[in-house]
Amino acid sequence: MKTTLQAVTDRQFDQVIETSVVPVLVEFWKPGCGHCRALMTELEKLQQTLGSKLVIRTMNVEENFQIPAELGVTSLPALALYQNGEFARFIGGLGKLEAIAKQIGVVSEG
């Protein structure tokens, strides 16, 4: 799947999470998942809108098994938010970018 978002692997994951000074949002996806493609499009827009306020990475679960297994990812797409180098929560309601941004807390309500 062609995307402008950077991918992260099991091997790189800890370094990406631990060295970021802003929240990191990770989309877990797999090829052939239509919902994953749709969400990735929204995340690309979100990254363009927020710039340096948020790091967004993608992880292909068919190529990377360790991190999704540790988190208990069982359905796709899945979004995990990391803050201050630690897992904060899964983001639900995989809707449009405004809703995602509000859930993450990088834009205020109203």
Q: Global pTM?
A: 0.87
The pLDDT, as a whole number, for residue 94 is 57
Listing DSSP states for 58-97 in one string gives: EEETTT--HHHHHHT--SSSEEEEEETTEEEEEE-S---H
The pLDDT, as a whole number, for residue 107 is 58
Which fold does the domain 6-103 belong to in CATH?
Glutaredoxin (3.40.30)
Please give the C-alpha separations between residue 29 and each of 7, 22, 52, 93, 107, in angstroms, as whole numbers.
Answer: 11, 22, 23, 16, 25
The Cβ of residue 49 has, within 10 Å, a number of other Cβ atoms equal to 14
Between residues 59 and 39, which one has the greater pLDDT? 59
The pLDDT, as a whole number, for residue 11 is 98
The pLDDT, as a whole number, for residue 110 is 47
Q: Which two tokens stand for residue 40?
A: 């990735």
CA distance 91 to 26: 10
Domain ranges across the chain: 6-103
- Quick: pLDDT tens for 43-85: 998 899 888 889 999 999 999 999 999 999 999 999 999 999 9
